[in-house]
Structure 1
């Protein structure tokens, strides 16, 4: 049954991550669970993977792989490219850069085939991230600038910010702090809701302040970032903030606090298997041990950092660890080891930063700035041309003024006709409302008379008969049984009157609302005749009384139709209150009917259902085939 399957899938999706999701993520999970087409499921799976990659990379990877399989099956190439990029990002969180690179290459090939600029820009940005993590800074800048150009062309402000943020991180690692700070201030002036961008800006700026020995300012930014991570439930992003705080405490001489926050960072990174970030933390622990003159401990931490950095191809980490190891060996009077470590450090530095790479970065920046100025000149020339065209257009506009007046007159006529039609529809609504209200009032009157009038009389009759039973003397056992049958008949009549009066005026609806009334109604159905299941969500608060009443009557009519005509033995009913209204689904496993046969819609019951939903400005959809059961889907705006 459709409803049950969707519910199970939604619960499975919610169990993907070990962390509570924010409202946006929960909404995406619901949409993903409800998606019916492969294309829609692919797009939502990719979007979910991208959203949760920092908080739950394993689930993000599963979602992206599922999206890729769906896209490949449907030959949906745009979805395939997006899935490959999401797979890369999930692997990047876990420092699996080489595995991720294969997926960027595949996404790039598809993007070039489709000639899709947004995909090409995303591929460039993913390449830039890969090269950043592999300490190839000139290639990272090159790919970032390529991404910026396309994002600017597409007017994608968020894409431009992500690309420039990565460039600022490269400049910071290269100790070009003024340039890094200038880029950060440029992008931080633009309002953005992306928590990863916000936290990364705060972290990178805090790093710069720390390097400039502005420890109080750096710690304030780190604390602001941690509060944001807690608010948005992004634990992965907290690790570099803890690491920077620990550095500030370390260089301020607060070694215990430094060690505490280094271990906090290490714990988070090990949770996500982020070995690159773990390498940085062990490097910093080596520095802390050196400052405390714990040389053996420092060597152990630094060698661990080198092992992790080599495992992930992190040249910057290897260079820094060997450079620090040189100082440890020197302090520990191990001169030969110090010389070997220093030579190794500079070998890795030369592979990352040399005159060639520095010139390449400067050249790329110059080309970008030149192209930007040329673009601005073209915009100025276009403005002048636009002004000339405006003059010509003004002349033409004057010539067309008479024609515009004529069209305005015709439009006025059309508007008047529309107003008349709207008034007719309004009167129809008033008439329908009056009919429904009159019908409901009559139900209430009859229910009250049955309950308070006939019901009370029958109850009194039963009581009197019960009294007579004790006063009468019966001639034989048959006569006594006949009298008891009369009492039972009166008792059954009392129950029937109560049942009819409650159906006409349901107590559950009066007391507790729609969900309670529907439950009370279906509880009266004999499970041996038909098993009925009810699922409700979001109906804790009362909705508008008229809507409750109309929806109850519609559901009541639908259930009665199923009992009378469908031959079903199982019925699922769901009532869900969403942000934009109420969704109701009634699904049976009966023999169904042919939707193309208009005679199936001529019954009074179905006409009543359609008219009531139309009155509520709602929509009503039927899904049925002979032998396949029937699904009725109702949406009423709230």
Structure 2
């Protein structure tokens, strides 16, 4: 889930934007797209679609397309419904705050139906994003309340300690912006302690909270504490030197040097940081970072009485200021006034000082005007309340006269309403009974169909078993006896041609045993499904055909009739790959997860047209589908011409 990025108030160039980790987006999209097509369950496919929607959230058309694909696979799972609303809100996060908040609230209602770690995680995140949206619309206190009362407790309950630490850091950031530096220190330290006590630590989040702690201690003028946290932050910053947070580290450290009057050291690290930022400022992504660095460079030059360099640094800082925040402009004008005063250019110093005061007074006037408007609204509201009170007094007598009549009307209306409710309730009971009877009839019909299919399959398997036994014990025994008699005759009389006949009989006996084994495999009866499938794959392999069999956690307690069904399904799929697909390599994977038995068979054969196959399905595939339905399973078949065929089957054993 991507981080929600929001801006805090800018004070003294100390506020930064959250950094984002660089990931290989192409591999991520490819991996998720593969799961959308080849995911073993609808739930996996739905989640992959939702994550793709979240990845492309800036392209609302594409994001909605993935989201709607995922919605078709949701069914009645509350967690998936919640994820749908959560990611839909993400699409509208920057477009329609009110709608996004409504969707996050719908997501929370669905998540609350499930008591699980994932549910608590997404409840915390949905509440957090609601808080961010309230921050956007000018309600920061509401955001803080949500963090403290909702997101932090839920994230803690989910044992998602990384996000809990981030939420604590956000509370600290807000308190720092409100100049409550003591309160901010407590939350920053609590978040940092949680991160350090629960490795592995996300280095981006770790660096961010270390820098915020350093800034907060600079405001408190506790320089020893600043030094401690900057030393912790330095190796992390150097490790992620391509991220924006690296330049935040340079800015905070140079500010620390300037406050300590170590101006030369500050100048050195800032120039190195600026040089690197200029090379990496693609699409002006580091413009505000350069603005902050040039401002610290100005302070460094000013401290060394390098006035011309200081003026040039301030000009550069103003050039890269993308926000044009009034507080920053007032600060800039004040520092320029200080610069020109040191240069003995008193007229210029006066002009910049005047600009600073005018801008400050302008902000003050705007705030005063806003207060006046609020006061006027309250006054108008008071006048309206007086008018309403006067009207209420004038109408009191009329209301008294109408009271009895209204009472009668209410009684009549309530009686009619109750009668209507009774009629609707009786109609509902009738329709519900009718619907229930229909459902029960359908269930009974479905059960009968399953029983019939089960009986047919059992009869077929029993007949195969009988034929296999007759062939093996009857005809097989007879042929073996003939072979023994011919062998004895050949030894005694050395009759020519008998040796060839014996060889033919050997071939016939081998064929007969293969037929009997296909009808009812003895290995399955003796050793179970795992050994039987391994033996089947080995028997079908040849120099021209490699069959690789892999099995995982297959238990020995699967009922024999279900083992036989699984064997027939795999047998039929292998026959299709060999006979129709003409494959030279087949991979067979079987695994068991409690009461689920999973089968995946992939071949490199010639494949087939899925649309053509849907219209005309062969007997073999029909048999497979019937056996899968009998075991209440899922059969997913994918094939591409000249690229092979993949079958995924999920059975309940």
CA contact (8 A) 2:240 2:246 kept: yes
Supply the distance in 2 between the matched residues of 1:596 and 1:350 (Cα, whole angstroms).
60
Aligned-partner SS, 1:617 = coil
- Once the two structures are superposed, the pairs formed by residues 114-513 of structure 1 within 5 Å of their partners are 121-124=92-95, 147-154=96-103, 156=105, 161-162=128-129, 164-165=131-132, 184-185=147-148, 188=151, 191=154, 198=164, 200-207=166-173, 212-213=181-182, 215=185, 217-225=187-195, 230=200, 235-244=203-212, 251=222, 253=224, 258-270=229-241, 273-274=242-243, 276-289=244-257, 295-306=263-274, 311=281, 312=284, 317=289, 321=293, 324-325=296-297, 328=300, 334=305, 336=307, 340=311, 351-354=324-327, 355=360, 395-399=416-420, 401-402=422-423, 404-406=425-427, 408-409=429-430, 411-416=432-437, 418-437=439-458, 439-440=460-461, 472=491, 479=496, 482-483=498-499, 486=502, 489-490=505-506, 493=509, 497=513, 500-501=516-517, 504-505=520-521, 507=523, 511=527, 513=529
Q: Specify the alignment match of 1:31 in structure 2.
A: 35
Supply the distance in 1 between the matched residues of 2:247 and 2:558 (Cα, whole angstroms).
60
Unaligned runs of 5+ in 1: 1-15, 52-63, 72-76, 84-116, 125-146, 375-387
Supply the distance in 1 between the matched residues of 2:457 and 2:290 (Cα, whole angstroms).
79
Q: How big is the shift at 1:360?
A: 7.5
CA-to-aligned-CA distance 1:374-393 (integer Å, 9 cap, x gap): 9xxxxxxxxxxxxx999968
Q: How big is the shift at 1:556?
A: 1.8
Aligned-partner SS, 2:539 = coil
Q: Specify the alignment match of 1:142 in structure 2.
A: none
Aligned-partner SS, 2:240 = helix
Supply the distance in 2 between the matched residues of 1:361 and 1:484 (Cα, whole angstroms).
112
The farther-off stretch of 518-527 and 538-547 is 538-547
Q: Residue 447 and residue 178 in structure 1: after superposition, are their counterparts in 2 closer, same or farther (change >3 A)? A: same
Aligned-partner SS, 1:281 = helix
Q: How big is the shift at 1:78?
A: 1.3
Q: Specify the alignment match of 2:386 in structure 1.
A: none
Supply the distance in 2 between the matched residues of 1:585 and 1:46 (Cα, whole angstroms).
28
Q: Specify the alignment match of 1:127 in structure 2.
A: none
Q: Residue 452 and residue 283 in structure 1: after superposition, are their counterparts in 2 closer, same or farther (change >3 A)? A: farther
Q: 1:617 aligned to 632, 641, 648, which one?
A: 632
CA contact (8 A) 1:538 1:576 kept: yes
Query: 1:554 and 2:569 equivalent?
Result: yes
Q: Residue 289 and residue 444 in structure 1: after superposition, are their counterparts in 2 closer, same or farther (change >3 A)? A: farther
CA-to-aligned-CA distance 1:94-125 (integer Å, 9 cap, x gap): xxxxxxxxxxxxxxxxxxxxxxx96884334x
CA contact (8 A) 1:571 1:589 kept: no
Supply the distance in 2 between the matched residues of 1:189 and 1:393 (Cα, whole angstroms).
48
Q: Specify the alignment match of 1:79 in structure 2.
A: 62
Supply the distance in 1 between the matched residues of 2:609 and 2:299 (Cα, whole angstroms).
82
Aligned-partner SS, 1:405 = helix
TM-score, with structure 2 as normaliser: 0.55
Q: How big is the shift at 1:617?
A: 2.5
Q: Residue 169 and residue 402 in structure 1: after superposition, are their counterparts in 2 closer, same or farther (change >3 A)? A: closer
Q: Residue 569 and residue 407 in structure 1: after superposition, are their counterparts in 2 closer, same or farther (change >3 A)? A: same
Q: How big is the shift at 1:553?
A: 0.8
Q: How big is the shift at 1:221?
A: 0.7
Supply the distance in 2 between the matched residues of 1:405 and 1:159 (Cα, whole angstroms).
42
CA-to-aligned-CA distance 1:455-499 (integer Å, 9 cap, x gap): 899889989999x79x95776xx74x8448627844872685267
Supply the distance in 1 between the matched residues of 2:298 and 2:584 (Cα, whole angstroms).
77
Supply the distance in 2 between the matched residues of 1:543 and 1:366 (Cα, whole angstroms).
81
Supply the distance in 2 between the matched residues of 1:549 and 1:245 (Cα, whole angstroms).
66
Q: How big is the shift at 1:280?
A: 0.8
CA-to-aligned-CA distance 1:496-529 (integer Å, 9 cap, x gap): 5267337622636864745x6445323323657x
Q: What RMSD over aligned residues (CA atoms) do the two structures have, in Å?
A: 6.2
Larger radius of gyration: 2
CA-to-aligned-CA distance 1:354-373 (integer Å, 9 cap, x gap): 456788799999999x9xxx
CA contact (8 A) 1:447 1:501 kept: yes
CA-to-aligned-CA distance 1:415-447 (integer Å, 9 cap, x gap): 345434533443443444345445546656776
CA contact (8 A) 2:90 2:100 kept: no
The farther-off stretch of 494-503 and 256-265 is 494-503
Q: Specify the alignment match of 1:47 in structure 2.
A: 51
Supply the distance in 2 between the matched residues of 1:411 and 1:568 (Cα, whole angstroms).
55
CA contact (8 A) 1:503 1:521 kept: no
Supply the distance in 1 between the matched residues of 2:251 and 2:452 (Cα, whole angstroms).
79
TM-score, with structure 1 as normaliser: 0.56
Aligned-partner SS, 1:123 = coil
CA-to-aligned-CA distance 1:296-317 (integer Å, 9 cap, x gap): 3322123344556774476765
Q: How big is the shift at 1:552?
A: 2.0
Aligned-partner SS, 2:540 = coil
Aligned residues: 503
Q: Residue 504 and residue 288 in structure 1: after superposition, are their counterparts in 2 closer, same or farther (change >3 A)? A: farther
Supply the distance in 1 between the matched residues of 2:100 and 2:371 (Cα, whole angstroms).
17
Q: Residue 239 and residue 625 in structure 1: after superposition, are their counterparts in 2 closer, same or farther (change >3 A)? A: closer
Q: Residue 309 and residue 182 in structure 1: after superposition, are their counterparts in 2 closer, same or farther (change >3 A)? A: farther
Q: Specify the alignment match of 1:137 in structure 2.
A: none
